[in-house]
Chains A and B, each alone.
Chain A
Amino acid sequence: MAYNDSDAGVAADRPGPGLDSGPGRVRTPLRKSASHGLKIVIVGGFGVGKTTMVGSVSEIRPLSTEEVMTEAGRGIDDGGTAGDKNTTTVAFDFGRITLDSKNVLYLFGAPGQERFWYLWDQLFAGSLGAVVLVDTRRLKDSWYAIDRLEHHKVPFVVAVNRFDGVASQPALARVREALVVADGIPVIDCDARRRESSKQVLISLVDYLTGLSGRVQPAGTIGTT
């Protein structure tokens, strides 16, 4: 079932900034029967395509909102540029997929840098799982994200965003090796700009999770190298 296909297509072509927010925008309300909000978090380095992925599969144009990080966020913000300021605002994007009459899935694009960990706590609490979106030209941008996900026992899959014109990219097996991703965890290719491809990434994640949650089914049987 598709919602606002054309709208999502427009959003998919747009780069990260310039998201919809604020008055004057036409909102698309949920159904009256909507009762369960669910979360999946897409995490990755700056410019890797998180917002693009959210936009390509979301039924609404991606929205942006913000959270104020106060003292709690300072301990891990060792950037040294904050001076004595005691609040920082961090923006994050999200989109939405109506799954059925009751369930609504929200996709969050989360900045992967260390100083945003305070925000992550809110995003990951109760989330189904995460997609680590990877740019093979900047693999080390993903190290911290994977480390934190493992530490917090959040299940994840790794999706390699294949950009145009990058012919000689490393194979998935080499990405898995470089990121030290365990064998059971799916590592897959994607094109974050394409709705169908982004949808397959989400399906891979939930399929993996369903396998882990079911006693009978073996875990992590799909999309692996």
Chain B
Amino acid sequence: MSPRAIDRETPDRLYTVTHGRVLGDEDPFDLVSLIVAEREPAPGMQSEHAKILQMCHAPTALVEVSAELELPVSVVKVLLLDLLDTGGITVRHPLPGVTHTDGPTGLQIADHDVLKQVLLGLQRL
């Protein structure tokens, strides 16, 4: 068996799952966007879509969906976009505009209130 046959295996499987589609410029998802199912899986639905609806009864981060389905993040994004377009899921995005630029250092720093909440949460662990 040539190494190339192995190399091609995964892309072929991924091609089938997404029907060859890739995510365009529109990428509304972050790795930690929380996905929430808005309806039950329907009969005849693509199995990956059905699995996503099942596992997202409770909010589930995109990376957790990816790990559970054993599919790469970019493939999961295509599947999620299908469900988003048909109202199957809603997305709880990470806080918008959380960062600002620190004057002296030029570093990208998150919002002060958000950081204080994180600090409190960590101290309570």
Residues of A bordering B, CB below 8 Å = 1-2, 20-23, 25, 27, 29-32, 34-39, 57, 63-68, 85, 87, 89, 94, 96-100, 103-106, 108, 122-123, 125-126, 128-129, 153-155, 184, 199, 202-203, 206-207, 209-210, 212-214, 219
Contact partner of A39 (CB less than 8 A), chosen from B32, B72, B121, is: B32
Contact partner of A22 (CB less than 8 A), chosen from B10, B68, B122, is: B68
B120 surroundings in chain A (CB, below 8 A): 99-100
Pair B73/A37 contact, Cβ less than 8 Å: no
Q: Is B101 an interface residue (CB 8 A)?
A: yes
Pair B59/A209 contact, Cβ less than 8 Å: no
Give complex CA distance A32, B56 in Å: 10
A–B complex contacts, Cβ < 8 Å, 20 sampled: A1-B125, A21-B70, A22-B68, A27-B64, A29-B58, A30-B60, A37-B30, A37-B32, A99-B118, A100-B117, A103-B117, A104-B32, A105-B121, A128-B115, A153-B105, A155-B105, A155-B108, A203-B123, A206-B118, A213-B102
Pair A22/B34 contact, Cβ less than 8 Å: no
Our count of residue pairs bridging A and B at CB distance below 8 angstroms stands at 172
B59 surroundings in chain A (CB, below 8 A): 29-32, 34-35
Using A37-B94, A67-B72, A122-B31 as known contacts, list a sample of 15 further A-B pairs with CB atoms less than 8 Å apart, ordered by residue number in A: A2-B125, A23-B68, A30-B34, A35-B59, A37-B34, A39-B94, A64-B67, A89-B72, A94-B67, A103-B121, A104-B32, A128-B110, A154-B107, A209-B110, A210-B116
Q: Is B82 an interface residue (CB 8 A)?
A: no
Q: Is B38 an interface residue (CB 8 A)?
A: no
Pair A99/B112 contact, Cβ less than 8 Å: no
Q: Assuming the A-B contacts A65-B63, A87-B11, A97-B125, are A212 and B107 also in contact, with contact meaning beta carbons closer than 8 angstroms in the complex?
A: yes
The binding surface of chain A is classed by DSSP as mixed
Pair A123/B118 contact, Cβ less than 8 Å: no
Q: Assuming the A-B contacts A106-B63, A203-B123, are A38 and B73 also in contact, with contact meaning beta carbons closer than 8 angstroms in the complex?
A: no
Q: Mark B46-66, 1 if CB is under 8 A from A, else 0.
A: 000000000101111101101
Give the size of the chain B interface in residues (CB under 8 angstroms).
Answer: 54
CB nearest neighbor in A for B104: A219
A34 surroundings in chain B (CB, below 8 A): 34, 58-59, 92
Pair A123/B105 contact, Cβ less than 8 Å: no
Pair A38/B114 contact, Cβ less than 8 Å: yes
Give complex CA distance A2, B98 in Å: 27
Q: Assuming the A-B contacts A199-B125, A203-B122, are A104 and B61 also in contact, with contact meaning beta carbons closer than 8 angstroms in the complex?
A: yes
Pair B99/A126 contact, Cβ less than 8 Å: yes
Contact partner of A125 (CB less than 8 A), chosen from B14, B30, B106, is: B30
Pair B112/A210 contact, Cβ less than 8 Å: yes
A210 surroundings in chain B (CB, below 8 A): 112, 115-116, 119
